[in-house]
Structure 1
Amino acid sequence: MDTMPYGQGGVPLNRTTSPTSPTHHRPVTATLFDVGVFKDTIAPSLGLHSSFALVAYAAGRATDRAEAKDWLWPSGQVLNAWWSAVGRRMINHGVPLTTALQSLSRPERLILAGVTLWGARLFYRIASRSIRRGEDDARYSEEKKQSGFWNRALFSMFLPEAVVQTVIALPFTVPFRHQGAVLTGYHPWVQMAAVGVWGTGFAMEVLADYQLEQHKYGGRTDLLREGVWSISRHPNYLGDALIHASFPLMLYGSDMLAPIAVLGPIANYLFLRFFGGDAQTEQSQDERYSREAPEKKEQLDEWRAEKHSFWPAAKEVGNPWLWACVGAGAAAVVVEGFVDGWSWR
Structure 2
Amino acid sequence: MTAAPRPDPAGRRPLDPGTPTGFRAPRLLDVLIPTRNRAAELAVTLAGLAAQHPPGTAPENAAGAAPDGTAAFGVVVSDQSDGEPGWAQPAAAAMVRVLRHRGHPVLLTRRLPRRGLAEHRAYLLDASAARYVLYLDDDVWLEPGTVDRLLTAIRQLGCGFVGNAVHGLSYLDDVRPETHRHYCEWDGPPAPERLAPGTPEWDRAQIHSAANLLHVTSARRLPPGQWRAYKVSWIGGCVLYDRARLRAAGGFDFWTRLDPGHQGEDVAAQLAVMGRYAGAGVLPSGAYHLEAPTTVTERSQEAWEVTARSGRPPPPAPPPPVRR
Shorter-chain TM-score tier: under 0.3
TM-score of the aligned structures, taking structure 1 as reference length: 0.25
TM-score of the aligned structures, taking structure 2 as reference length: 0.26
- Structure 1 or 2: more strand by fraction: 2
Larger radius of gyration: 1
- Structure 1 or 2: more helix by fraction: 1
